[in-house]
Amino acid sequence: MDEPENDGNWVKARSSLVWIAALVVAFASVWWIEKQTRLELIAKTAPAQAQAQAMASADLPPQPAPRPLTVPEVEAASSAWAATEREAAPATAWDAGSALVAVISARRLELLQEAAFDQRVTLALATLPTPQDATDAARLLVPLHVLAWRYPKHADAAGGVVAKWDLPQLAAQGARPGWGPYTSRALALMGQDMRTQEAGTADAWLLAGLEFGLTGTSRDMAWRAWKQDTARGGPSAIAGQALFGVSPSGAAAAGASNLSNHAVVLESLAFIAHGRLLAPR
């Protein structure tokens, strides 16, 4: 008669151990990415970035400090969140990652209350698509890592999602063209060392900056890529404002016509107000 009770106690103990382990992994991963940011991992592995290090941009603006949003920025955040809520359920892993980033950013901006946030996260974690490549996995790993770090009540579910993936196989596939700087940083959260030899697109650098932060050479590379992007309207303009303090021209939310773009707008505005996504609380 004692066995069922012992089994129950073991299940409870095992659940607690899993939860503690998830938190330990989250703390260790944040420490690791902080260390790698300081060591400029990406700059050391890409020849193009090494060359840029020797010739830093003279016009690189200083890193803006967090500040309260302006009235137009608050309105842009509300519009982007309203648009996100109208979007259909994400069908791809990339869009699912963008949706989670949007939900987390809306919570950071106090556009979403705790109860509604928890409900949305719980539903999303139960229905996430499986990533088909390393860049898909990267887009999902960032919000899953944030949930384990900032919102530990969701740590078990987030860890359970990642446990189903074959991360070494995904990392071996490499990043999508132009997305090496972002993909390698995200996979590093789970200890996957995916070297990249490409300079990266402006979009890849902007997301890396908003989520991981940029210093030294990596920030200079992001600035160069952003300046070379001739279509800097909409989300790209707001991301540039967040990372470099440059004022966007035209309507702040112009061009934010899909889930991924809505997420970038929300993430950029949360960056302006609170700093990068993976910064400790």
Tokens for 119, please give them: 């409900």
Does residue 15 have a pLDDT over 60?
Answer: no
Let me know if residue 70 belongs to a domain.
Answer: yes
Say what the pLDDT of residue 110 is: 97
Residue 193's pLDDT is 87
In a domain? residue 127: yes
Neighbours of 31 (CB within 10 A): 11
Mean pLDDT, residues 192-215? 87
Residue 96, domain extent: 2-274
Q: Is residue 279 part of a domain?
A: no
Mean pLDDT of 19-38: 48
Residue 59 lies in a domain: yes
For residues 253-279, average pLDDT: 85
Residue 157 placed within a domain: yes
Residue of 88, 176, 110, 166 lying closest to 139 (CA atoms) = 176
In a domain, 96, yes or no: yes
Q: Is residue 280 part of a domain?
A: no
Give the total residue count for the chain. Answer: 281
Answer yes or no: is pLDDT of 277 > 80.
yes
H or E element in which residue 232 lies: none
Number of Cβ within a 10 Å radius of residue 118? 15
Rounded Cα distance, 87 and 83, in Å: 7
Q: How many domains does the chain have?
A: 1
Q: Specify if 181 maps to a domain.
A: yes
Q: Collapsing DSSP states into helix, strand and coil, what is residue 72?
A: helix
